[in-house]
Structure 1
Amino acid sequence: MPQSRLVLDPEFTIGPVPRRLFGSFVEHMGRCVYSGIYEPDHPSADAAGFRGDVLDLSRELGPTVVRYPGGNFVSGYRWEDGVGPRDQRPERLDLAWRSREPNAVGIHEFDGWARALDTEVMMAVNLGTRGIQEACDLLEYTNHPAGSYWSDRRIANGASEPFGYRLWCLGNEMDGPWQIGHKTADEYGRLAAETARAMRLVDPDIELVACGSSNAQMPTFGDWEAAVLRHAYDDVDYISLHVYYQADEDDPDSYLASAMDMDQFIEGVVATVDAEKARGRHRTAVDLSFDEWNVVRAGAEDERPDRRPWALHPRLGESEYTVADAVVVGTMLNSLLRHGDRVTIGCQAQLVNVLGLIRSEEGGDAWKQSIAHPFEQMRRLARGQILRVAATGDRRDTRRFTDVPIVDAAATFEESSGSAAVFLANRSRSETADVTVECGQLGVRRLRSAGCLSLPDGSAATLTNRDRHDAVGPQPFDRADLRDGAVTAQLPPLSWTVLELDSGPDLP
């Protein structure tokens, strides 16, 4: 049986839990918007056309920020198409996803949905086919109170008060050759800096995210971040990271260890950012916005076949997720939390249908996928300070990674309430892991709750789908015990376990 020992101490922390770390992403891609969050003819639709069942599930997940409207989509998007009377809005060809965009959902509609969800909007501007002026126009439209051309247009379109968006992305994945308006690092860095300066003249209180490399495998990785920040360091607040890990049936152990790569990716970008800070003698820190991340199942990559007909909301990237995927997502959340001193924004992509935490069928029902549960649990329970977990235990090598901890862990502690949360993944596909969590220094006296997401006995590939909505989810866990300042637990093979501890009285 693999062994793991974790030591938690309130004197050793990483920083406060960033609330924006638990964000999601809604892009005009596939069925994320149309027949995802928005379907006027659905039985649950509200007066604005948004699906009530999807909104209810989204509220349960509780994303604290939602990035919009892209993604690759934004690099060809004319935001003006989505405002004003619906019957006067043009239908456009979306070149990013070879689709037809009806523009039935635009800024006003999405803002109403986001307010109903009670989430912050992270707005992206088009720096692919457009530039400084269009970005400033959009910001004026959303944030300026009144008395200017675009703010008065917003008022005429029904929003007397500004939307007040604070968080803005300066384009999307601009180093990717697939991106409309793809640019070199110097081209983009200069454009990002000039756009940032102009946007701050419209609203000095905004926060800006510059595009980092599209992923760590890009030939531009590292050099891109350094070059962009050489132009824009003092003009932006964040630089972005994106990653998707592909499920691999031929090498499942490496797939389960994917968060090892995520750790290295984050630490590499932090090193590059801090090197540029030192080189440029900058005073402030640029933080990281991990505003696209998720896992991908085989069959979900059919995104841009050149000869596909131009269709409204075609099915793109629709994965059905397993227990293994939920465990990997849990370890990715752990990685983000462990780096929460620098990664202060995170967006799991996407919210509905396209690699979705939620799936829906047109005219039918909606359900949470397996990967939604670790997100919901961590968003709900991670509070206060991120603890620096001192971990020892068994490790193994995979084909791609060496020295992989069999048990992956992260933890938080909120002093004011005396509560702690411990997030544990057992990466072993066949062995129970014996874990000891030494937490006496936290002053916790009660194991308030314990839940575990794992494979039911005798099952090999349980997944959630339209016929098995509840096939995968956290179940009460009775193989954990708190005594004498330590929790002992036996984690089932291939499992995600969450322990909630507090200083309340012992339960009878």
Structure 2
Amino acid sequence: MKAKVSLVKEFKIGDVDPNLFSSFIEQLGRAVYTGIYEPGHPTADSQGLRGDVMNLVKDLRVSLVRYPGGNFLSGYDWKDGIGPKDKRPVRLDRAWHTIETNEFGIDEFVDWAKKSGTQVLAAVNMGTGTPQDAGDMVEYCNYPSGTYWSDLRIANGHKEPHNIKYWCVGNEMDGPWQICHLDAVDYGKKALETMKIMKWTDDSIKTVVCGSATTDIPTYPEWDRIVLEHTYDYADYISIHRYYENFGNDDDFLASFYDMDKFIKTSTATCDYVKAYKRSNKTMMLSFDEWNIWYQQNQKPHPWEKAPRLLEDKYSLLDALAFGGLAITLLNHADRVKVACLAQLVNVIAPIFAEPGKGAYRQTIYWPFRDISLYGRGVSLQPVVTSDKKITDKYGEVPAVIFASVYNEETKEISIFALNTSKSENSETTIDLRSFSNTKMIMRTELTGTDLSAQNSLENPDKVAPSKVELSEGDNGIYTLNLKKASWNVIRFSAE
């Protein structure tokens, strides 16, 4: 099997926004409790924040972390999570059928984010919440002092404003599973009035309105059009969400990138239609603020309890490869996808897994996310690709090898991410960099193996991990490589 990718410095897709490397923590399962927060853990600090988990988050260089939800958001009163912990109410979380103690809230999360080297993408309740509640939360978090809510924040131990700049206006309000689900017209009207209050409180913030939660819902993409017709002037982004899982056909699963690509293109086209309809000069950007591999078919009923083990998918090498295809797709749409949140970050469908009282380890999907976060910053280039095709039952003919490429103009380095989706054939791959001067391969790694079902664990944390590959010499800017079957590859070059 053969593939060729050619890069031309002037063929730019767009600047890669650092917020493309963001994630998500929801008050769900063990994401917070025994995930990022576990008083008494051997690595916990004075606030009960787990240091081992924090170190892994820092290693990922996550830009934003969305909080507190998620489905949890639509029944959550943010005021329950502030003030003295012994006076905070214990509530039923009806979204996930759990008991929420509220001992962890927005102030604690902001402290965790600062210690973890990341920023907060806060979310306001558009289910049971009101526009006034949202405005009050912005005032509590961002207004300096001298008002009821800002002075309450100061009294709660945070003299300086949190200065949260990014805000989600609800979560998946198109979904009938959502508490106080709304139709598109009602949500659009409520979101508009909510954003007015939020931005009149702090005109520096950026807001994300709810787009479609999945391509499978009957209202997609009409929901997005209607919502944007109401909110276009006030919104800065519209969200899209999508998860993938393996239903038994590995070739279909490895081609999940094909579906994500179509989703982004359709959402972009919907935004541009509304732009034309509104006669607007503003181009609406996308916030892909939930994406991942998630085995939703594995969900089971459970009793009411605090922080149960929910959605704790254990990821395989095959999952990591499919994940890599999604990551490549995001980079190849860097012109319009400006925020992307890997959902989620710890324990719950997450790259980091932590056991109570014990250690934490990297799941297989940690590695491709880390690769794009470390080496995918710069300008996304449009790769000119020729690749052998493969036939899938679900998507028909798709490329067997896919690529994304990023040029960092400051460091003069090129990073190429390549996924060979074939389980049976290596790919003889040619990389043509003649558009650049004096290129030299400086790094090459691959994530592959003979057992696609292999998983990492606390006992064997590095069973699936990338390995270094011998560097190749170029011939006047042309490099020939062998990409192993079923492999995720990172190839980096210096250039003048």
1:491 aligned partner, one-letter code: L
Match of 2:259 among 258, 261, 265: 261
**Partner SS state of residue 396, structure 2:** coil
Match of 1:482 among 474, 479, 484: 474
Cross-structure match for 1:212: 211
Q: Distance in 2 between matches of 1:356 and 1:392?
A: 34
Cross-structure match for 1:235: 234
Deviations 1:86-143 (A, max 9, x none): 1111111101000011111111111110000111100000010011000000000000
User: Does the alignment pair 1:495 with 2:487?
Assistant: yes
Q: Distance in 2 between matches of 1:67 and 1:53?
A: 20
**Partner SS state of residue 180, structure 2:** coil
Q: Distance in 2 between matches of 1:479 and 1:414?
A: 20
Cross-structure match for 2:151: 152
Deviations 1:128-161 (A, max 9, x none): 0011000000000000011111000001111111
TM-score by length of 2: 0.98
1:402 aligned partner, one-letter code: G
Aligned residues of 2:317 and 2:452 also touching (Cα < 8 A):
no
Q: Distance in 2 between matches of 1:297 and 1:177?
A: 20
**Cα 1:269/1:444, change in 2 over 3 Å:** farther
Deviations 1:435-493 (A, max 9, x none): 1110121224211010000014xx34211123321011110112754332012111111
Aligned residues of 1:297 and 1:321 also touching (Cα < 8 A):
no
Q: Distance in 1 between matches of 2:471 and 2:234?
A: 51
For 1:120-131, what aligned pairs fall within 5 Å after superposition? 120-131=119-130
Unaligned runs of 5+ in 1: none
**Partner SS state of residue 311, structure 1:** coil
Cross-structure match for 1:176: 175
Aligned residues of 2:135 and 2:197 also touching (Cα < 8 A):
yes
TM-score by length of 1: 0.96
Q: Distance in 2 between matches of 1:454 and 1:444?
A: 30
Match of 1:344 among 310, 315, 338: 338
Match of 2:309 among 308, 315, 333: 315
Two-structure CA RMSD over aligned residues (Å): 1.2
1:213 aligned partner, one-letter code: S
- 1:29 to partner: Cα distance: 0.4
Aligned residues of 1:418 and 1:444 also touching (Cα < 8 A):
no
Q: Distance in 2 between matches of 1:325 and 1:124?
A: 29
Count residues with an aligned counterpart.
496
Cross-structure match for 2:184: 185
Aligned residues of 2:23 and 2:341 also touching (Cα < 8 A):
yes
Task: Give aligned-pair identity as a percent.
Answer: 43
Cross-structure match for 2:294: 296
Q: Distance in 2 between matches of 1:474 and 1:85?
A: 45
Aligned residues of 2:443 and 2:471 also touching (Cα < 8 A):
no
**Partner SS state of residue 187, structure 2:** helix
User: Does the alignment pair 1:471 with 2:463?
Assistant: yes
Aligned residues of 2:275 and 2:283 also touching (Cα < 8 A):
yes
**Partner SS state of residue 138, structure 2:** helix
Cross-structure match for 1:277: 275
Cross-structure match for 1:389: 383
For 1:344-363, what aligned pairs fall within 5 Å after superposition? 344-363=338-357
- 1:383 to partner: Cα distance: 2.5
Q: Distance in 2 between matches of 1:131 and 1:153?
A: 20
Runs of 4+ in 1 over 6 A off after TM superposition: none
Cross-structure match for 1:252: 250
**Cα 1:371/1:324, change in 2 over 3 Å:** same
1:284 aligned partner, one-letter code: K
Farther-moved stretch of structure 1 (460-469 vs 288-297):
460-469
**Cα 1:444/1:215, change in 2 over 3 Å:** farther
**Cα 1:144/1:436, change in 2 over 3 Å:** same
Farther-moved stretch of structure 1 (467-476 vs 260-269):
467-476
For 1:359-378, what aligned pairs fall within 5 Å after superposition? 359-378=353-372
**Cα 1:427/1:444, change in 2 over 3 Å:** farther
Unaligned runs of 5+ in 2: none
